[in-house]
Structure 1
């Protein structure tokens, strides 16, 4: 049976920004309780009092919050180098039987220059190629038989080095996404390996995004 406390928990979990503001004590409990009263009354199918909701809000505590916060803070303080690469282009191709052969052709083109930026990500229905814009001609030749769903120029990549134990920390990527969202920065693409995390943004947002990511280390 659902209670006011479980309703409050479900709402907060589904709205991370709200939960974050609550745990930082920057919300007015009385005003929030009144705001949630109608939704919780609807869920429980009976009238509820704002005072009861406010009590549930004050008692709410995310599971393992303190222990994970300490680990999270330590990881963020030990983020590796933050590298910015500009003049990038992004292509999205529909998956096909010949797509991997097109990818191999492109690898032959770039294998002699280790400084070129190139990523290939295969999804269920489509694949993504991110590459230095100067190689647009070559990629369009190598993938000439493929169905290009979308392409975008004037992109920049910000790559963050992650500590080796990052895979054990809950909510690490959320910290990046939250900070960028608060700054109003939309992401064009996200690419990651075990110890590197790369976001792709339009050139006009790169300085703002870099500043936001760097701020996480403080």
Structure 2
């Protein structure tokens, strides 16, 4: 049987900003309890008093990963270089039986110019190719028989080198996404390898996004 505490936990987990504010004791418990009366009453299908909700809020124990744990601080402080690459285009193409062969021809050209930016991601139904704008015509020519879902030019990539043990730290990416969201930055694409994390943003957001990520590191 669902309780007031269960409902409070469900709501806080679905709203991580609210959960973090609660964990940092920068939120008014009484005001929040009143705000939650209606949704929790609906969830339990009976009237709930603000006092019961406030008690559940005070007893709520947020995940340790949301706080500034020593381990999380160490990882963030050890973030590596932040690299920015501009003048990029993102091609989204429907997967097909011929895509890999056509993509191989693009790779041959990229291998001849090591200063070009390139990233490839294959999903279940579609694939993304991110390249320097200078290759736009070349890519379009070699994918002319493929089905384009989207083509976005004037993008910039911001890449962050992560510490070797980053894959064992819960909540690391949350700090990046939270900061970018607070700054109102729209992410066009997210790319990741084991020790490198890259976001793609439209050129108009690149300076703001770079500053936001620097703030996470500092």
TM range (shorter): over 0.9
Aligned equivalent of 2:40: 40
What's the TM-score once normalised by structure 2's chain length?
0.96
Aligned to 1:69: 69
Corresponding residue of 1:12: 12
Deviations 1:60-79 (A, max 9, x none): 11234488832211111110
RMSD between aligned residues: 1.3
Alpha-carbon distance in structure 1 between the residues aligned to 2:72 and 2:102:
41
Distance in 2 separating the partners of 1:108 and 1:137: 15
Label 1:211 to 1:67 Cα distance change in 2 as closer, same or farther (>3 A).
closer
- The SS at the match of 1:26 is coil
Cα distance in 1 between the residues matched to 2:20 and 2:63: 13
Distance change >3 Å, CA 67–CA 28, structure 1 → 2? closer
2:203 & 2:67 partners in 1: Cα distance? 38
What secondary structure does 2:146 align onto? coil
Q: Which whole-Å CA distance do the structure 2 matches of 1:39 and 1:56 have between them?
A: 15
Match of residue 56 from structure 1: 56
> Aligned residue for 1:140?
140
Answer yes or no: is 1:186 the counterpart of 2:149: no
Q: Which residue of the partner structure matches residue 97 of structure 2?
A: 97
User: Which residue of structure 2 aligns with residue 212 of structure 1?
Assistant: 212
Residue number in structure 2 paired with 1:2: 2
Q: Deviations over 1:4-55 (max 9, x none)?
A: 1111001000111111111122211111100001111111222111111111
Structure 2: how far apart are the matches of 1:195 and 1:66? Answer: 21
Question: Which structure 1 segments of 5+ residues have no match?
Answer: none
Unaligned runs of 5+ in 2: none
Residue 149 (structure 2) pairs with residue 149 (structure 1): yes
Under a length normalisation based on structure 1, what TM-score does the superposition of the two structures give? 0.96
Name the residue aligned to 1:174: 174
Aligned length: 218
What is aligned with 1:121? 121
Structure 1 partner of 2:200: 200
Task: Tell me if the contact between 1:68 and 1:169 (Cα under 8 Å) persists in the aligned partners.
Answer: no
State whether structure 2 residue 39 is matched by structure 1 residue 27.
no
Moved over 4 A (4+): 65-68
